[in-house]
Amino acid sequence: MPTAARLFAALAFALVGFFTAEVFKPHMPQGTVFGAFSQISALIGLVSGWRVLGPETGRGMLQSANAGLKAGLVMVLLGLLIFSTEEMIVLAFRRTYHGPMEAIIGIIKLAVGYIQLLFAPDVLAVILAGSILSGCLSEWAGRRWR
């Protein structure tokens, strides 16, 4: 059921996803081609905000801030899965892997490499602050427009 809280959660997390991607880009190796990285990250954020944060509003600011952190974690994990799988497919077409199990293990190795880059202070700050602010914003919207 569409509500103002879900709408604000989705839009806020789309912004968090976009800005997280923009802050994350300088931490990647030189010459990395990003393509639609920021836009896909915004879409992942939109889905996380709508599906995870939106339904959990209406229980108070603290609970919504916690729900925002949960939605931020879901956004990061979903992004890791999507971008690691996409990179694995690119490497598979280059015949880097010798079998399907090696390709699946490749997804995990790529995700671990991305996780190490996510621990940069500026990236963590954007994720954490954006998640908490998004939770509070969606709670405010839920109270304001019932």
Single pTM value for the model? 0.92
Phi, psi values for residue 23, rounded to 5°: -75, -30
Mean model confidence pLDDT for the chain: 94
pLDDT (mean) for 68-92: 96
Tokens 């609970």 label which residue? 63
For residue 137, name the pLDDT band (cuts at 50, 70, 90). very high
Give 1: exposed, middle or buried? Use CB within 10 Å, 0-12, 13-18, 19+: exposed
Tokens of 143: 């109270």
C-alpha–C-alpha distance, residues 39 and 17, integer Å? 8
pLDDT surpassing 90 at residue 146: no
pLDDT (mean) for 63-83: 96
What are the b/e assignments for 99-110, b being 16+ CB within 10 Å? eeeebeebbeeb
SS3 98: coil
What pLDDT sits at residue 1?
74
Tokens 């994990």 label which residue? 77
